[in-house]
Structure 1
């Protein structure tokens, strides 16, 4: 069997509040979202057959990244306007830091702010 790179994806949810600066709609007021985050990593399976164990991926994202923003007021944490786009870029950087010592690449990140509105960041756009 040919062994090549395999993508592994996992979906997470977290809750945060924010308001949008310099915005003239309802979102200028403080409000919250249940965000949905999909993370895709890519690598070659190891001798056990894993790119990364789902449990280890869960630990990285939940405990080392999302714990910083879950149930928090984003405007108090960041020096940028916490739009979905900017939060996605911050998440990208944070995840990259956490996997830098692993033989994996961050391929894609999708962040839903609502069930029908989301942003996508692809590796090719961040190189």
Structure 2
């Protein structure tokens, strides 16, 4: 059977600041992120399987990505654990949704994190093929499994 790639798009709003950065992104700011998740596999051939003809149910992929990424980061502030952020994140009401991560929260580093989170949750016959994360309308980063063997 042929290998088929499935892609699902996700959108979320997130704020971040880059610790020790020498440009404008050192300031707290937000983006409207667009994440494209592409998996690869073979369509199910088992006539008794309710997912007959599918590589993966789009709903199952949606559930994984929402659990691991969107639900955690949508409308959250994300900062590196190296940043002195205690006062910022302790603001009443305004600091309730936040993530402190082990890395500088750049588009590139977030993709590495996202790839690891998604790969752990995929069925064993499905592989993560690629991720594309738009940070702005004209700027994005991409992760490909073939580049990370």
TM-score between the two structures when normalised by the length of structure 2: 0.79
* Bigger radius of gyration among the two: 2
2:138 to 113, 116, 119: 116
Q: CA RMSD in A?
A: 1.2
Q: Is 1:125 aligned with 2:123?
A: no
Paired residues for 1:1-127 under 5 Å: 3-47=1-45, 48-75=52-79, 76-99=99-122, 101-127=123-149
Following TM superposition, by how much is the alpha carbon of 1:63 offset from its aligned partner in structure 2, in angstroms? 2.8
Cα distance in 2 for partners of 1:77, 1:96 equals 22
Cα distance in 1 for partners of 2:146, 2:117 equals 17
Moved more, 66-75 or 43-52: 66-75
State the Cα deviation string for residues 38-74 of structure 1 (Å, max 9, x = none).
0100001003100011111111111333212221111
Comparing both structures, which one devotes a greater share of its residues to helix?
1
| Unaligned 5+ runs, structure 1 | none
State the Cα deviation string for residues 8-29 of structure 1 (Å, max 9, x = none).
0011111111001121221110
Equivalenced residues, count: 124
| Unaligned 5+ runs, structure 2 | 46-51, 80-98
SS of aligned partner of 1:22: coil
Cα distance in 1 for partners of 2:121, 2:28 equals 30
